Structure 1
Amino acid sequence: MPARKQEFVKKGVGGPRGSSVINFRPVVSATSQRRSSAVLPSVLTFAVIVASGGLLLMIEKGMLNNMETPPPRGNGKNANYLQQVRHHDSTVDVESQILQEIRNRTIRSMCGQKNMPHNVWSLSAFQRKTLLQHILVSEEHRFLYCYVPKVACSNWKRMLKVLSGALPGVDAKGKMDHRADLLFLSDLQPEQIRHRLRHYYKFMFVRDPMARLLSAYRNKFGEIESYQKKYGAEIVRRYRKGHAKDTNIAGDDVTFTEFVRYLLDEDSDRMNEHWMPMYNLCQPCAVTYDFIGSYERLEADAAHVLEKVGAAPHLQFPERQSWYKPVTKETLHYYLCSVPQKLLRELLPKYILDFSLFGYSLPNTTAEHCRH
């Protein structure tokens, strides 16, 4: 990054001294570390992420040109914010309400800039095609769901089939067919699309970006032969010395570092959907989502959505399959620390909008942290 741009980011953060965009370290003040609440520290951390990480990507993409500073939010009422949230909706806990409000305000602020897309039709043809192919339609319950692979999307598709009557129940046996008995927004005509975007309830679910990447890596390169042959073999040829012309590669032993190198060379708009940034898949600047749930709060957030769309009270979101291997904090720590820091610093800007817009902390991969 040019020196002048680095100086701009550091001066624009307004955070604690010593914070650095280059190191991608989310900064939490000493005061917040002493708080007993689990909510407020993450709010403070998020503010730093938005200030540093979000600006970093906008600088790199030239999106700060002719950009106006957004007006202050809250009109001086921030002191009463938590109290207002607590009385907003008794059916959703306080932390969930705070996370939703943070996401909504951040998305409105960043997406309100001139160079950001403001509706589906302002996207490029390729971006619009990707988006419309990832939005599922429920005509029975009048909602739109933008699915993100590796964020419980198979179970949400199963739920849509139950709501439409195509499946008798969420526990129905059989392999999930990701297209049969499902209606995509891309199947409809422009006027039909406009009508549903205006009038249907819209939601999506997000996940910690690095946990999602690791989940995709372990699943596709550790279990799915078609991905090993198509992507794994190519990754080995590209990034493993002495294998550039090897035609007899299984692709089932791709390392996480090799996967990261591959992602660095990929265009974010044209990645495979399983590792394409969530922002690129669902375009939250072009589509105003009524609710953005999270994988980390899946049970509660899914229940909230089902209530909002008028699902039968007895319907519950499916439990994770018994064979599912969760990505734990320890597992994520192990894999991220196995990758050279330089590569991670180069990778994070590709997913910085996922971190900043959806409220996830940037990973700590310093040498000191990785020793523990």
Structure 2
Amino acid sequence: MGTSRLFRIFLVLGSAFMILLIIIYWDDVGASHLYLHTPVSPGPKTPHTPPQHHPQTSRTPSFLSDIDAFVNQFLEPGTGDPTDPAPADTTNQSERAEERYVPRREWKIHLTPVAAELRERQEQRRKLLQEMCANDGVAFPGKNRSFDDIPNKELDHLIVDDRHGIIYCYVPKVACSNWKRIMIVLSESLLQDGVPYRDPLAIPRDLVHNSSMHFTFNKFWKRYGKFSRHLMKVKLKKYTKFLFVRDPFVRLISAYRNKFELRNEDFYRRFAQVMLRRYANQPTPPASVDEAFAVGLHPSFSHFIQYLLDPQTEKDMPFNEHWRQVYRLCHPCQIQYDFVGHLESVEEDAEHLLRQLRVDNVVEFPTSHRNLTASSWEADWFSTVPLEARRELYKLYEPDFRLFGYDRPDSILNE
């Protein structure tokens, strides 16, 4: 490489780092006007050998990947010359050699197109979202705010995979465990014997929901500082964004079954005891879930609905994520999702999505054989809930019904 070319590269690198320092450390006054016009690349999507870690430890993506992409924009196009590599780490080479793996071949070109009816299904779902968000007759808290107005703590369900340019908003009780597994496999954020997991079902369940395994939007501020909100917008524009939803009432039934009909010490202490005291005439409920189950005591489904409708509930704390409305978790009127999956058609939708993401040669959506809550059970579950309470509950979750195309459950609401 000639002296003049080396000089130009060092000049560009120095200038880029100076710009980034100005972006990050500039005083609040006028700083946003500087970095809002700075082009940012989502980073390279080619496989790379990850830094080595002990088994089952997360790998934190580096801000340098974004810096590298930024700097590469200024190098002469068409030369094919890579940037100078970092000095090799010669420590523990024999141990590191055992941990090396061959990166998977990704971005395979698929010759068979996605079925036209599946593409049309997605077009209709996206169009419905846009129409409902523009419809003044559909009102709910936070609908008309901008993305900048969303508090950072409410962006904790948006998981980012920079390797493949994907953003997934997870909704509890909507196959989120399996989609989180897939995101871990794709982002290679968890290693086993020095090698990233390839089988989603092999990932230990306690790690699937461990927040350290997932890089979410609410973590951007800690890593990127003032640059974080703009970088979110860049990724939202360039990445493929998806979420999965299900019938809102069926989701509530599923949440109740999983958290209150099964032994769950955390949910018993945080929520079940409150319900028993308020609605079940139990001023001193058992101290533990085991004691409660031993005497056959747990909140009924009707108690759970009372809890959701009680104004005191959200005065104490926001809804738990397992029954919080999807519009509050995923902000569909501020984020234009590229793919909207339904749990009722999860196998077809999952196959379509993985094909669209060009990763179906890397990972498959796990088939679940667990006993799923069926929509046909709604009438039985709600038979113990007073009619007026059912109608109030529908008003509470009506935005989710309308945004995502679920029919109003007239058989439950018009008795």
Report the equivalent of 2:378: 332
Report the equivalent of 1:364: 410
Change in 2 beyond 3 A, CA 1:153/1:208: same
- Per-residue CA deviation, residues 284-331 of structure 1 (Å, 9 max, x unaligned), is 0011101111101111111111122221425210122x5x32112343
Report the equivalent of 1:110: 132
Match of 1:214 among 250, 253, 266: 253
Q: Which runs of 5+ in 1 are unaligned?
A: 1-88
Match of 1:297 among 322, 325, 345: 345
Q: State how 1:61-80 maps to structure 2 within 5 Å.
A: none
Compute the TM-score of the two structures, normalised by the length of structure 1.
0.67
- Contact 1:203/1:289 (CA < 8 Å) preserved in 2? yes
1:271, distance to aligned residue in structure 2 (A): 0.4
SS of the residue aligned with 1:327? coil
Q: State how 1:1-372 maps to structure 2 within 5 Å.
A: 91-92=114-115, 94=117, 96-112=118-134, 116-117=143-144, 119-123=146-150, 125=151, 128-130=152-154, 132-165=155-188, 166=190, 167-172=197-202, 174-177=204-207, 178=209, 179-188=211-220, 189-223=228-262, 224-241=264-281, 243-244=282-283, 246=285, 248=287, 250=289, 253-265=298-310, 266-267=313-314, 270-313=318-361, 315-320=363-368, 322=369, 324-366=370-412
- Per-residue CA deviation, residues 107-166 of structure 1 (Å, 9 max, x unaligned), is 22232357833531133x3xx522x10000001100100000000111011001111232
SS of the residue aligned with 1:197? helix
SS of the residue aligned with 2:173? coil
**Counterpart-to-counterpart distance in 2, 1:140 and 1:117:** 32
Change in 2 beyond 3 A, CA 1:137/1:257: same
The percentage of counterpart residues that share the same residue type is: 33
- Per-residue CA deviation, residues 66-95 of structure 1 (Å, 9 max, x unaligned), is xxxxxxxxxxxxxxxxxxxxxxx961352x
**Counterpart-to-counterpart distance in 1, 2:407 and 2:236:** 31
Change in 2 beyond 3 A, CA 1:368/1:360: closer
**Counterpart-to-counterpart distance in 2, 1:173 and 1:354:** 31
Q: Which runs of 5+ in 2 are unaligned?
A: 1-111, 191-196, 221-227
Change in 2 beyond 3 A, CA 1:367/1:295: closer
Larger Rg: 2
Q: Which amino acid aligns with 2:259?
A: K
Compute the TM-score of the two structures, normalised by the length of structure 2.
0.61
- Contact 1:154/1:176 (CA < 8 Å) preserved in 2? no
1:244, distance to aligned residue in structure 2 (A): 3.5
1:198, distance to aligned residue in structure 2 (A): 1.5
**Counterpart-to-counterpart distance in 2, 1:106 and 1:208:** 16
Q: Which amino acid aligns with 2:355?
A: E
Aligned length: 273
**Counterpart-to-counterpart distance in 1, 2:204 and 2:288:** 32
- Contact 1:143/1:200 (CA < 8 Å) preserved in 2? yes
SS of the residue aligned with 1:183? coil
Q: Which amino acid aligns with 1:311?
A: V
Q: Which amino acid aligns with 2:344?
A: E
Give the root-mean-square deviation of aligned CA atoms: 2.6
Structure 1 stretch displaced more, 162-171 or 273-282: 162-171
**Counterpart-to-counterpart distance in 1, 2:121 and 2:356:** 18
